[in-house]
Structures are given as C-alpha cells and as structure tokens.
Amino acid sequence: MKHWAFTIALLLWAAASAWAQAPGAAPQAVQTDIPSIYKTLAGYFPVGAAIDPADLSGPHEQMLTMHFDGITSTNEMKWSSIEPAQGRFEFGPADRGVELALSHKMRVRGHTLVYATGQQTPSYAFGDGTNSAANQAIVIANIREHIQSEVQHFGDKVYAWDVVNEPFDPSQADCLAHGPFYQVLGKSYIDVAFQAAREYAPAGTKLFINDYSTNEPNRLGCLLKVVGDLRARGIPIDGVGHQMHNAINYPSVPAMENAIETVRSQFPGLDQQITELDVSVYNGGDTKSNYGRSIPASVLAEQGWLYKSTFDLFRRLKGKISAVTLWGIADDDTWLDRFPVVRTEYPLPFDRQLQAKPAYWGIVDETRLPGYGLKFSAAAAKTQSDTRTITVTATNGDAGPAYASQIKSIGLRPVSAEPRCAAAVSAPASFPVSLGDIPTSGTAAVSIAVTLRGCDPHTRFAFTAAWSSATYETGTFSTTLDIDGDSGEPRR
C-alpha cells in the first residue's frame, strides 16, 4: 500500500472507531442491579417485547431475557419473510428467535399470518389481484397453504397468532380495509385465514385479530362490528390485540380503558392483549418535530409519568388483559425512527445505551420518577382588612426535577355555613399558574390574592388546589386555612 493510501486508511479507521465510541453509538453495560420488568409485573400479566435478529446476542439478548418473558418477531414471521416465493420457506431467522425464547421459558406470539393491507406480503399471494372465480380459488388456496405451512412449522412453540393484522378501516361502509386480499375475496379472506389457522394450529392456540388506534370511537366501532360478525358466523377468533402505538399526548388513559372495557362488555370471554406498545415523544399527527440526539429531560420525565399512568391502567385491568408486549426494548432500535418520517425517536423504556429511562421507572417503580413526592402546603396572611394572600408552596422530593409544575385551579369556600361570606380571587387573573421546573428537593411558591366579602372573623376556609407536573403527575391538595384578623367588610 502506498504511504498516502495507508494514511487515509488509518484516518478512516480512526474516524470510524471514534464514531463507534461516540455517545449514543455504543451500548454501555447492561444495568443488572435494577428490577426486571416482567418479574415486577408477574402478578398481573406477562410482558413481552418485539425483537429483531440483533436482539438475539450480546447486551440486547441480556436485556431481552432479563426484562421480558415473551417475544414477538417484528418482521421475521411475516409472509414476505417466511415464504418470499411460493413454496420457498425461510424459517431460519424466526426459528432463532423462537429457540432463544423457549430456552429462557419465554412465550412466543406469532405475528402475523395475513397482513390486511398487503404490507410485507409477496404479490404472488394475491394471484392476479382480481375477484374472478378462478383467482378467488387461487388466493384461498394461497392463504390456506401459507397458514398451514407456517403454523405447522412452529406448532406449539407459538401460543398465539395475529391471524389477521390491521383489517379495520372506518372510512369504509363495511369497516374493512379494502386491501389486496379484500379486493379478491371481500370480507371472506378473514374467515379463510381464521379457519385455516384453527384447522392447522395445535388445539388451544389463541387466534387474534390485531389492529391500531382501537381507542378511537370509529375504529372501536368497526372492531365491535367486525368481531361481532365473525363470532355470529362461528369464525374461530379467540382474542383482540390492541397495538397501542401511542404518543406523548394521545390517547388519554380513559380512552384506552374504554376500548378494553367496551370490548369486554360486548364480548365477555374474548381474550385481549396489548400487543405493540410504544410511546412516541412527539404529539400524535406531528410529523415535523425532531429532537435529534438532544431530547429534553423534561420530555423524558413526562413520558415516564405517562408510562406510569398507562401501566397503572394495565394493572387495574388485571384479568381482563392476558399480556402486554412492547414494540421493542430500547431506543437504539425502534421502527419509529423511520415511521411516519425519518427522525430520532425515544419511545421505549431504555435509552440508546440501554440504560433505564424514566419510562422504565414508570413501569416498575414510580418513586424513581423525576418529581415523585411533590408535596403542597398553603398559608394565608392578612394584607388589608378585607384582603388576604394565600401562599401555596410546592416542595419537591429527591427523585429528580418536577418539570412544568403548575396549579391548574383552586377552590376556596368557608367551612361553616355563612351564606353571605364569599372569597373572590383577584390575582392571578387566570389559571393554570406556573410553578416552573422545581429542582430536586427544591421548592417553588405562588401567591394568590383573595378578597373577602361578608365573612365572620376567624372564618375557616376549605382550600383545594388541583396541580400537575410533567403533565401526567397530578393531584389535588386540600387543607383548611385559618384566615386571621377581622372579617372582610363589616357585615351589613
């Protein structure tokens, strides 16, 4: 090698290794001194993770087996991966995930036999794409052959299948996505898939329909309609998978709860799972924002509190959901880096160096969330004969800053029945009122100016303050305030 070429090669090597060691590139040591997610939740439901081939070795494998007792292959069990050309099967990558899982006594969800939208499905599956009688027979045979081959290959190593993925479309009168299978067979492609799965999978295998945004009333309505129709016609469906690709502002926890409870009340005994949970740090529908590699700590704290509320809900739903699966393990490998646009995402419990984020603590131990332990107190001081200042003080715990803390609203009313006594807030002019970011173990205070009318001396007031921090940490502080001195104005 010529000298200059050698120098360039050396420089390139140096640059490459510097890049490999740059923050964000190399995984740090796996934290082995923190609680296991699945063990922490063992009394509620199993917790799985979607995996890629890269999760089967090294630190990722360690993370996977430490924190999860189930797997779903993100892509390796999809039609295009398993049978890219008709009759040519490539089970290897999926098998490797299954073998790792079973050697650790983890359960395996199969995802997915028929992808309604035709995504990750080879085009031969649809025949010539038409609904001619001849092509219908071909596509039915294709679906049955593919499902038979795949479910028989995995046998009882797979306990549940997403038989049909993403079939709902509320913009269609029949609530069904008019994808390529539908174009050929109408709604009967769903029947064909479930019947084949029941016929060829071992008895007891759970057969699921799986879809996203089931919290949205129109999508939930479609779910109820389609599943109701399948059940009425005796199509063998065992469960509904709620994907839950959530965002930092969407959906609300009550909306998630409503989806599960509505399905449950309509179809008692139908299994339900959360199948693909992740929580984008960007608002739903926002395809422009991009934090790059510098995500504000406040956003991660907010996400942590949202994970906590979400898992509080899941725990309340114990017995009503049979598993929760996260769509990944750590932020170094998430489909949301490419969907709906290319940007840097942070949707999972662990960061790019595989270290625990607030999202992780929100799942396993809320006392470690930034802002945990935020407490309030209040005192009143007389300013003039008929005015008082109420000082509300927030004192943060020692778990980390309490970001974007605020008092959302207050209530102030006399404790005893004094019909003519009233307290009116003269400042601040409106709520919420900000307490800002309160440092770890620090305090912040706001003053509320109050004018009294027609109150007895020493009237005691019931004071309440609804507060929030990091959006999802919320509470209501209540106390009784002694407002000393003369009553406001002389009573008339």
H-state helical runs in 41-109: 58-67, 79-82, 92-103
What is the smallest separation between the CB atom of 476 and ligand XIL, expressed in angstroms? 38
Nearer to ligand XIL by Cβ, of 284 and 411: the residue is 284
CA distance 42 to 24: 32
Active-site residue (options: 83, 276, 345, 366)? 276
Q: Least separation, in Å, of the C-beta of 93 and ligand XIL?
A: 13
Q: Which is nearer to ligand XIL, 284 or 442 (CB)?
A: 284
| Secondary structure in 3-state letters for 121-137 | CCHHHHCCCCCCHHHHH
Shorter beta-carbon distance to ligand XIL: residue 75 or 447: 75
Residue 103: how many other CB atoms lie within 10 Å: 9
Q: Which residue has the tokens 């630190």?
A: 59
Strands 473-482 and 460-469 turn out to be: antiparallel
Nearest to ligand XIL of 112, 468 (CB atom): 112
From CA 316, how far away is CA 256, in angstroms rounded?
12
| Active-site residue, from 150, 166, 302, 473 | 166
Angle of helix 133-154 relative to helix 188-200, nearest 10 degrees, comes to: 30
Find where tokens 């309030």 sit: 376
Distance, CA of 437 to CA of 402 (rounded, Å)? 6
User: Can you give the binding site for ligand XIL, defined by CB under 6 A?
Assistant: 74-75, 165, 243, 276, 335
Phi, psi (degrees; rounded to nearest 5) at 112: -145, 155
Least Cβ distance, residue 448 to ligand XIL (angstroms): 47
Closest to 56 (Cα-Cα) out of 33, 73, 35: 73
Angle (nearest 5°) at CA 118 between 180 and 230: 70
Least distance in angstroms from the C-beta of 157 to ligand XIL: 20
Q: Which H/E stretch holds residue 487?
A: none
Q: Which is nearer to ligand XIL, 210 or 405 (CB)?
A: 210
Start-to-end Cα distance in the chain: 104
Bond preceding residue 347 cis, omega within 30 of 0: no
Residue with smallest beta-carbon separation from ligand XIL: 335
Tell me, yes or no, if 276 is annotated catalytic: yes
Using DSSP, state whether 400 is helix, strand or coil. Answer: coil
Least distance between ligand XIL and beta carbon 76 (Å)? 10
Q: How far is the CB of 351 from ligand XIL (least distance, A)?
A: 19
Min. distance of Cβ 112 from ligand XIL in angstroms?
6
Give the integer Cα–Cα distance in Å for 230 and 222. Answer: 12
Closer of 175 and 277 to ligand XIL (Cβ): 277
Nearer to ligand XIL, 117 or 131 (CB): 117
**What Cα–Cα distance (Å) separates residue 338 from each residue in 54, 306, 325, 343?**
17, 23, 20, 7
Handedness of CA 275, 279, 283, 285 (dihedral sign): negative
Residue closer to ligand XIL by CB (options 80, 249) is 80
Cβ at position 111, least distance to ligand XIL in Å = 6
Q: What is the CA radius of gyration of the chain?
A: 28
Residue 243 or 309: which CB sits closer to ligand XIL? 243
Rounded to a whole number of angstroms, the minimum distance from the CB of residue 424 to ligand XIL is 53
Is 166 annotated in the active site? yes
Cβ-contact 58, 330 below 8 angstroms: no
Q: Which residues contact 403 (CB under 8 A, 6 or more apart)?
A: 297, 298, 301, 302, 370, 371, 437, 469, 470
- Give the orientation angle of helix 58-67 with respect to helix 92-103, to 10 degrees: 50
> Are 189 and 144 a contacting pair, CB within 8 Å?
no
Supply the residues annotated as catalytic: 166, 276
